[in-house]
Every structure is written in structure tokens, then in C-alpha cells.
Amino acid sequence: MDPTLAETLTGWRRHLHAHPELSQHERATAAFVCARLAEFGIPFVAGVGGHGVVATLARGGADRSVGLRADMDALPIAEPTILPHASRRPGVMHACGHDGHTASLLGAAVLLARDPGWAGTVQFVFQPAEEGHGGALAMLADGLLERFPMQRIFAWHNWPGLEAGTVAVHHGPVMAGAARLAITLHGHASHAGLPHLGRDPVLAAGHLLVALQSVVSRTLDPLESAVVSICMIEGGVAFNQIPAEVRLAGTVRTFTPAVRAQVDAGIARVVEGIAATFGLRAELDLPPGFDATVNHPAEAELAAAAVAACGLKLRRDLPPAMTSEDFGCFLALRPGAFLWIGNGPAAELHTPWYDFNDAILPGAAALLAEIARRALRE
């Protein structure tokens, strides 16, 4: 990649980092993407599945098509850094690198627009609302695959701790499927000094928090993988009153539908049992969520070959992670692969000190472009 384009990608990424937008609110981000595509004469359609943008490059001579996808949304996390490009929106930051993913996909579009040596159709999918807000499903419901045909689809995610620029291509599962978990325990409020006159949901919540961990450790085959995490507990308005209700929320993560069914049944059993033990009423909300991200064999091999062609270091030995990605919704309908590209010794994802490593942008953009070329040839 020429130095001018590499510098441009860094500028784009830092602009996006400084102006993050939450899921389902990516108006300015989408407008920025559209403006950059227009600058390079790349046709696009905006407003796909919300604030999604799909750009299309088509060349005659082949009927093959491929999709490349990047996510655009940020997280409700306050950024404490003093970086020149730190978030200017209080309480919102790109703590997962979607700013870099978006910039790299724009870079891939520019590279392919400049390259006359390929034929077919490339769809560049800029997805909103990846962070648990159904962005992939919304784009699919808006006719993504029918309106913008693609026979295969590929994407990537930066990976802190993996050597910068090194690409991991998994055999099979890459990230777990995930669903939100919400539980409300309804009790009876009372004075803190007269607990016998109430039904204490706080005490029950403590027992429930511990008991839920037995769902994985004592229900599943130890060789299977699942995670049940309670990440929020809310309840009470005064230090000297037992409240009427407590709310718990978290996530469930699994790799297979069979394991997910076991975990769901275990959660329901534990919630019902704890509520009965303490004389409470419980509400359990456990929606389907989205599929695990699982690479297709042929597409994983294609991606690995593209890594070698780009001169990047390849890893095929990394285990999957229990983090999640709604890219699995696309892979359930089209063959494809999801890659990790090392972000170097950076802060972890979803933490306030995280920042995307701009040095990996040229390699990421070049890799996406090479994957598209190979998918169209093969």
C-alpha cells in the first residue's frame, strides 16, 4: 500500500475514534463512510437495516460475488485517555476497534477500485449495531442478501495480545453465540430491622448468583464450552429498607444449539427453585440471541492462502474465544470466514484504555482486498 493511502486510513480511523456513536445511532459514522465512498467514486446504498451502508464494485467477465463486512458502532464506556484522537462524546468510546474495522474496509474498497485485475462483484457491508443490538439480523431482514447478492462473506476482528499484524484463521468455531439474560426477583419490601415482615429479593439474588454457576459446572459435559455471566445487579433505594425487587442481567454464551438448550433449561430450573425457596416470584427473559461464529472449511483455507499472499504471519493454532460476534448470523446463510488480526500488546477489548493499533490498517485492508480477489477467482 502506498504511504499516502496508509496515512489516509489512519486519519479516517482517528476521526471515527474521536466521534463514536452507540448501536442504532451511527448516523454521523454512516455519513462519514458514505462521504469517503463518494470521494473515490464507489457506488453505495445507505439506510440498510438502520444505519447500514452497502457499497458495490462490479466488473464484467465473471458472475461470482463476495461480501466483506465491517462493524461501525461504539460502546457506552467513558474514555479516560488523553490521546489527541480520544473520544469527544462523553460516556461513549470505540473500545472494541470498530473504528479500525471500518477504516480498513474503506481501504479495501479503495484498493479494489484502483485495481483493474479482477472481475465479478464485491459488496462492502458496513454494519451498524453489532454490540448486542441485532445489526446483522436487521440488515438481513432488510434484504441484504437479496438486494446485494454475495456467494461468500468474510470479516475480521482485531485481537489484543496477538502479535501486531499476525492473522489467526480458525478451523471451525471462532467465537461463541450469545444471548442476553435478564432475571427479576419480585419480593415484598420491609424495614431492614423487620425482615420477617417481607420477602427479601436481595438475599435470594445472592443465592441465585452463586447457584447459576452450577449450570455450567454441574450440568454440562466438562468437555463442552459455555459461559453464564451475571454482569449487572440492580435493586434497592435506601440503606435501611429491604427492596421489593432485584434485577440481574448478563449473558449466556455457547457454541452449539444442543449446549444452549441444556444451559437454558438449567437456568430456568435454578431460577424457579431459588424463587420458590425464598417465597418470591421470578421473571426470566432469555431470548434466542445469535449464532456462534463458525468458519466454513473452504473459506478458511482461502483466507489462509490470502494471508500468505500478503506476506503476513499466519497462525492456525489459536483456540476459539467465548466472546461473541453477530457475524455468525451471516455465516449461517452464506459460506465464509472470520479472522483475527493481532493488535499487539494493547489493552483488552471493552476496557476504557483500549485503542486500535493504526499500524495494522494497511495489512488489514490489503488482506480484505486479496480475499475478495481470490473468492472471485475460485
Q: Which of 285, 311, 335 is the last residue of a domain?
A: 285
Q: What was the pLDDT predicted at 1? A: 77
Name the residue range of residue 122's domain.
3-172+295-377
Distance CA 125, CA 50 (A): 13
Do 145 and 50 have their domain in common? yes
Among the candidates 238, 255, 285, a domain finishes at 285
Q: Are residues 207 and 339 in the same domain?
A: no
* R_g of the chain computed on alpha carbons: 23
Q: What is the CATH number of the domain that holds 123?
A: 3.40.630.10
* Residue 68 in grid coordinates: 466483506
Helix, strand, coil content of the chain in percent (nearest 5): 35, 30, 35
Tell whether 58 and 166 lie within a shared domain: yes
So what's the pLDDT on residue 62?
Answer: 82
Q: Is residue 290 part of a domain?
A: no
**Which amino acid is residue 105, in one-letter code?**
L
Q: Could you tell me if 207 and 257 lie in one domain? A: yes
Q: Are residues 159 and 190 in the same domain?
A: no
Q: How many CA atoms lie within 13 A of 295 on its CB side?
A: 26
The span from the CA of 87 to the CA of 81, in Å, is 9
Cell matching residue 362: 494497511
Q: Are residues 155 and 302 in the same domain?
A: yes
pTM of the model: 0.93
CA distance 132 to 178: 8
Total domains in the chain come to: 2
Residues 154, 35 share a domain: yes
Q: Do 32 and 135 have their domain in common?
A: yes
Q: Output the pLDDT for position 332.
A: 95
pLDDT in tens, the chain (378 residues): 788 999 999 999 999 999 999 999 999 999 999 999 999 999 999 999 999 999 999 998 789 999 999 999 999 999 999 999 999 999 999 999 999 999 999 999 999 999 999 999 999 999 999 998 999 999 999 999 999 999 999 999 999 999 999 999 999 999 999 999 999 999 999 999 999 999 999 999 999 999 999 999 999 999 999 999 999 999 999 999 999 999 999 999 999 999 999 999 999 999 999 999 999 999 999 999 988 999 999 999 999 999 999 999 999 999 999 999 999 999 999 999 999 999 999 899 999 999 999 999 999 999 999 999 999 998
The residue from 253, 285, 317 where one domain ends is 285
Q: Which of 23, 32, 29, 251 is nearest to 129 (CA)?
A: 23
Q: Which of 86, 87, 107, 227 is nearest to 156 (CA)?
A: 107
Is 83 in the same domain as 191? no
Count of H-run helices and E-run strands, the chain: 11, 16
* Residues pairing with 58 in the sheet: 121
Instruction: Answer yes or no: do 43 and 138 share one domain.
Output: yes
